[in-house]
Amino acid sequence: MKNRHSDPNIRVRFAPSPTGVLHIGSARTALFNYLFARHTGGTFILRIEDTDRGRSTIESENNIIEGMKWLGLDWDEGPDAEGPFGHYRQMERLGIYKKYAQKLLVENKAYHCFCKPEELEKEREAQMKEGIAPRYSGKCKNKSKDEAEKLIALNTPHVIRFVIEPKKIIVNDLIRGNVEFDSSLFGDFVMVKSDGVPIFIFSNVVDDIEMKISHVIRGEDHLSNTPKQILVYEALGAVPPQFAHIPMILGPDKSKLSKRHGATSIDDYKNQGFLADAIVNFISLLGWNPGTDQEIFTREDLIKQFSLERIQKSGAVFNIEKLKWLNGNYIRNLKIDKLTELCIPYLQEASLMVLAPSEKELARLEKIILLEQSRIQTISEISGHIDYFFKEPQIDQKILIPKKGNAETTKKALDASAVFIMTIDNADFEANKLKDIWYKFCEQNNFKPIEVLWPLRAAFTGKEASAGAFEIMEILGKEKCVERINRAISVL
Quote the DSSP letter at residue 183.
G
| Residue 150 annotated to the active site | no
**CA-CA distance, 78 to 10, in Å (whole number)?**
16
Question: For residue 323, which amino acid is it?
Answer: L
Question: Taking a C-beta distance cutoff of 8 angstroms, is the pair 194, 127 a contact?
Answer: no
Phi, psi of 77 (to 5 degrees): -135, 140
In DSSP terms, 311 is beta-bridged to: 288
**CA-CA distance, 433 to 53, in Å (whole number)?**
68
Annotated catalytic residue within 150, 259, 313, 391: 259
Least Cα distance to 391 among 357, 347, 441 occurs for: 347
Question: For residue 425, which amino acid is it?
Answer: D
Question: How many other CB atoms are found less than 10 A from the CB of residue 81?
Answer: 13
Q: DSSP string covering 203-247, please?
A: HHHHHHHHTT--EEEEEGGGGGGHHHHHHHHHHTT----EEEEEP
Question: How many other CB atoms are found less than 10 A from the CB of residue 154?
Answer: 7
Question: For residue 97, which amino acid is it?
Answer: Y
Own/partner long-range contacts of 443-446 (Cβ < 8 Å, ≥24 apart):
445/416
**364 CB contacts (<8 Å, ≥6 apart)?**
475
Which residues participate in catalysis according to the annotation?
Answer: 259
